[in-house]
Structure 1
Amino acid sequence: MSTFRVRVIDLETAGNGQSDVCEIGWQDVVFDSADGWVVSSERGSQLVNPGRPISPDTMAVHHILDCEVADAPYWKEIARSILRPDGKIDALAAHRATFEQRYCTPHMTGGLPWICTWKCALRMWPELPRFSNQMLRYQRMPQGLIHELGLPAHRAMPDAYVTAHHLRDQLNATSLEQLLAWSNEPGLLPRVPTGSNRGKSWDRLSVETLAEFLHDRDVDVRFSAQTELTRRSELQPTVVSEPVQRTLL
């Protein structure tokens, strides 16, 4: 009998660029008829030759050395086997998935849908003060997360492993379809991220202030202000296009 399976992906890169992945990590989350969604034993990582030197700034984050990736396969040689493994995959997932989607193109994924655990966290745990992968880890302390398997941070497999625990809890609280729907929209920020109104919930702002935010450069801010105005029946919903996520919540 087939089961549902979502593969969480995390990438480390060599720095700014378009084809510079230097590590990919993965962790599967599967549906078990007895226990619901669980973090499976299927996980791993693969170093990737980025085709150019890793920048010192980036090396200082993940500590991957040029000599470690010199003999590794190139991204185009390894990506499909990880993104489209043997057996059914219902979706891919990542924390702030737009980053991974820059490299994991539909051609490589076979057009699989994506879940963004960051966008879903904004919806499901709006009371939390911050929403980075590691902050969610320590704010929430997900059950069953083995501390050592989630280390070191900013390496692909440990980060995917941590993200998978957020995803597991999200899937056990709502449907896969709902997470996919939220992931296809901009992020619904629970609070204003910057400026003089920073930290205020949107329902505390005047209609005039909300209208000003409709012209913000950040799509998540625009979408959040628009959602609050719509809630007040001041504005009809419209489609908002989505660039790369920029907010720091």
Structure 2
Amino acid sequence: MNPATWPTLLVVDVEGNGTNPPDLVEVAALPIRDGQPDKSTAGWWLTRPNRPVTPFATRVHGLTNDDLADRPTWADVSDQVHAFLGTAWICAHNAHTDYRVLRAHLPGWEPTGVLDTLKLAKATFPDLGKYSLDNLIEHVQPDLSQAPGHRHRATFDAFATAQLFLTMACRYDTWDQLTAAAVPPGLPGAPEPEKDPTLW
């Protein structure tokens, strides 16, 4: 399959402040162009949450309240994020989470489709057993030498997810085959169920 024929695709990752529901503190959106992650045109936003970052969240992604004290609020950047994402396809690991959180923070936003590397990995590597991002990185061994930041930061995780997605996508002959394996049921871009020919 020729990646040049793919629709506009952004690999996204979000990090939150640890509350439920979360306030966003970091969003990364990494375009895939001609089969490669394009860091030169990526979108990246750090924001100051309305509620403090919890100690647990800080232990995960490393961002503290002091790190974010001088950053804009989500209200200051939401229009930029909305415009950047547009109607592109998005790809994420365990995409339900990123899609749900972004939809909650971006009223009116709807991607054309949602690809999930977790679902895709289960179809591509059915015998792997564990499908966390760390397990897939260990199994696939993608080149992460150009990944920005570190694990559990949105920029790094989006880059790693992009590399995993590209490796797995090579195993599918057509975009339709890829979306059938990668789009979770009920999310945008999911294949329409076949109509029962006996119904009229």
1:185 aligned partner:
185
Aligned-pair distance for 1:55? Answer: 0.5
Matched, 1:50 2:53: no
- C-alpha offsets along residues 11-45 of structure 1, whole Å, 9 cap, x if unaligned? 11111322511111121112x3xxxx222233342
Q: Which residue among 99, 102, 112 is the counterpart of 2:100?
A: 102
Whether the 8 Å contact between 1:80 and 1:108 is mirrored in structure 2 is: no
Q: Map 1:5-154; keep pairs closer than 5 Å.
A: 5-30=8-33, 32=34, 37-41=35-39, 42-85=41-84, 90-105=88-103, 107-142=107-142, 145-147=143-145, 149=147, 151-154=149-152
- C-alpha offsets along residues 61-101 of structure 1, whole Å, 9 cap, x if unaligned? 11101122123222243244235428x86401110011111
Q: Could you list the runs of 4 or more consecutive aligned residues of structure 1 that deviate by over 4 angstroms after TM superposition?
A: none
Could you say if the C-alpha distance between residues 136 and 2 of structure 1 is closer, same or farther in structure 2, counting changes exceeding 3 Å?
closer
Q: Aligned partners of 1:152, 1:90: CA distance in 2, in Å?
A: 26
SS at match of 2:147: helix
1:223 aligned partner:
none
Aligned residues with identical type, % of pairs: 23
Whether the 8 Å contact between 2:119 and 2:184 is mirrored in structure 1 is: no
**Which structure has more RCO (C-alpha within 8 Å, separation ≥ 6)?**
2
Q: CA RMSD in A?
A: 2.6
- C-alpha offsets along residues 91-133 of structure 1, whole Å, 9 cap, x if unaligned? 0111001111122117353343111111111001112232111
Aligned length: 178
Structure 2: tracts of 5 or more residues without a match = 187-200
Whether the 8 Å contact between 1:91 and 1:114 is mirrored in structure 2 is: yes
TM-score normalised per structure 1: 0.63
Q: Aligned partners of 1:184, 1:131: CA distance in 2, in Å?
A: 15
TM-score normalised per structure 2: 0.76
Whether the 8 Å contact between 1:43 and 1:157 is mirrored in structure 2 is: no
Whether the 8 Å contact between 2:17 and 2:49 is mirrored in structure 1 is: yes
SS at match of 2:120: helix
Whether the 8 Å contact between 1:15 and 1:58 is mirrored in structure 2 is: yes
Structure 1: tracts of 5 or more residues without a match = 187-249
Amino acid in the other structure paired with 1:73: P
